[in-house]
Structure 1
Amino acid sequence: MIASTSRLPKHSFSSDGVEIAYFDTGEGDPVLCIHGFASTAHINWTYPGWVDTLTKAGRRVIALDNRGHGDSEKLYDPAAYHTTLMAEDARALLDHLAIAKATVLGYSMGSRITAFLAHRHPDRVKAAIMGGLGIKLIDGVGLPETIAEALEAPTLEEVTDPQGRMFRAFAMQTKSDRRALAACIRGSRNLMSREEAASIACPVLIAVGTKDAIAGAPEPLAAIIPKGEALSIPDRDHMPAVGDKVFKAGALDFLARHAA
């Protein structure tokens, strides 16, 4: 077990030689949660209330720290962060816990990982909820590589790019390994083709804040994925949308309909 100051204890396992930290709580149908860039399992899912929301709805919640994040192993080669590799970490966690099939909930980069997992391993994903990522799954990627430069800048004061400054400040606040995050942003900006997105067979909820300048609109992506549904989160930018009550209510409704 990995020691953590967070209120849920974390465990670890090896995903093809990379140590991945995770927590596992609650009972019922499993929901695998995959956090966004520069976040962690607790920051993305515990603190905004998702763990309480899902466990009270009778779900088992499993959330991992993506490689390079939180308590998971730090890697410094951008090639180690290709989205296919991080999707395999998620699949390996399901194997480790002997879970044949789960609903997957992702946010931002975690939604990209979720889409790759659903495409590569359709037998393992019952349904998917993708927050903070719309059409930029296949068109425009999302987060710019200039964020890596912001993470590597000597000081926060030297960062002038607004998005770069936001993520640099966030990484400092969470005491993240900024060198590992810079490698991650350079290696994980992987597009999915329109044909690959169209091949995702499970039901997918795509939830994006109406003021989100990073994700891209949810409706065009929902039109491509055969069982896609779009959910707009009113008056929310990329970061605040994570814990929004509209997002949670929409997710619970989606789970009730598609992941019983």
Structure 2
Amino acid sequence: MDFITTDGFALAYDDNAPAGYERAILLIHGFASNRNEGWKRTGWYAALERRRFRVIALDQRGHGQSGKSHDPAAYLRENLARDVVELIDHLGVNRVDLFGYSMGARIAAAAALAAPERFSNLILGGVGDKLLTERMGERGDLMVAAMLAEDPETITEPFLKSFRQFADEQGEDRQALAAFTQAANPPLDVAGFATLPMPVLAVAGERETNGDPVELARAFAHGHGVVIPGCDHFSAIPHALTKAAVFDFIDGLLDDPWAR
């Protein structure tokens, strides 16, 4: 299914609502991924549906089956956050749990800051306390170069090469991904994190390169941080312990803030 945003983008999405579902969750995938690869293949659709969630997941603009542009202005974070709110408006849903992974966590945080009344819980996966001081700068330029390289074997940094290989495997539009990275986004309003009224979970692997989720959780008034042992950025998302942490959080079983 898809819908058209107010600025003319066609956004593809899934909306799987079991009979008598008890709550809804919206899933935002990471950079160079899509709703099928980021959430369905990794077992999240099935795990959430077993718990009677209404599962809503979109392909972010520039990704998957959604509309694409090679203009960086199309990918401003405020546009991406607005897409999230417009989708739940389109579906007639008042409040959802919101779960973003990696780049999707940044968009989830921006959406929560823009419309906190629409989200019951906020889950930030694959990020840590580097989010609090993040500047794209040189690393963003390196990602652009990785996306546009004629030969991926010329990419020397393993993290960047893995994203390029992932984009190629998914058949993504690499020019759109480069433009996505070039969007002139200001830093997130991290001072505003402390004002958010909803519970927030930051969860990431022990070998996550984006910092410590426990330290990130301290920036929120109602934050919880969980580290998944032995996992890196890519292996944490399908891991059973990540699913357990998310469900314990939603069920209110993470009593101690910033638990490890």
Instruction: Give the superposed CA RMSD.
Output: 1.5
Aligned counterpart, 1:91? 85
2:179 aligned residue (178, 183, 204): 183
The letter of the residue matching 2:177 is L
Change in 2 beyond 3 A, CA 1:118/1:38: same
Which residue in 2 is equivalent to 1:18? 9
Give distance in 2, aligned partners of 1:69 and 1:103.
22
1:69 aligns with 2:63: yes
1:204 equivalent in structure 2? 200
1:236 equivalent in alignment to 2:231 = yes
Cα drift, residue 161 of structure 1: 2.2
Per-residue deviation, 1:147: 1.1
Whether 1:32 aligns to 2:22 is: no
1:254 is displaced (CA, Å) by 1.1
Contact 1:206–1:222 (CA under 8 A) maintained in structure 2: yes
> CA deviation digits over 1:107-143, x for unaligned, max 9?
0011111111111101111111110012222212579
Which TM-score applies when normalising by structure 2? 0.91
Deviation for aligned residue 1:188: 7.0
| Partner of residue 57 from structure 1, selected from 51, 59, 73 | 51
Q: Deviations over 1:200-259 (max 9, x none)?
A: 22101100111011x21112221110001001011111011111111100111111228x
Secondary structure of the residue aligned to 2:147 is helix
Q: Secondary structure at the match of 1:242?
A: coil
Match of 1:193 in 2: 189
Matched, 1:220 2:210: no
Mapped to 1, the partners of 2:31 and 2:111 lie a distance apart of 17
Matched, 1:104 2:95: no
Structure 2 CA distance for partners of 1:173 and 1:188, relative to 1, 3 Å: farther
**How far does residue 70 in structure 1 lie from its aligned partner after superposition?**
0.1
* 1:191 shift after superposition: 2.3
Q: What TM-score do the two structures reach when normalised by structure 1?
A: 0.91
Instruction: Could you list the structure 1 runs, at least 4 aligned residues long, displaced by more than 2 angstroms after superposition.
Output: 140-144, 188-191
1:135 is matched with which residue?
129
SS of residue paired to 1:224: coil
Q: Secondary structure at the match of 2:153?
A: helix
Identical counterparts, % of pairs: 36
- Following TM superposition, by how much is the alpha carbon of 1:190 offset from its aligned partner in structure 2, in angstroms? 4.5
Q: CA deviation at 1:189?
A: 5.8
Structure 2 regions of 5+ residues with no counterpart? 254-260
SS in structure 1 of the partner of residue 236 of structure 2: helix
C-alpha contact (below 8 Å) 1:19/1:73 kept by paired residues:
yes
Counterpart Cα distance in 2 of 1:154 and 1:197: 40
Name the aligned partner's letter for residue 207 of structure 1: V
Aligned AA (1:200): L
Q: Any conservation in 2 of the 1:141–1:189 contact (CA below 8 Å)? A: no
Aligned to 1:8: none
1:74–1:34 CA distance, 2 compared to 1 (3 A): same
Q: Distance in 2 between matches of 1:45 and 1:189?
A: 26
Residues 137 and 191 in structure 1, CA contact (< 8 A), matched pair in contact too: no
Distance in 1 separating the partners of 2:43 and 2:220: 28
The farther-off stretch of 185-194 and 149-158 is 185-194
How many residue pairs get aligned? The number is: 247
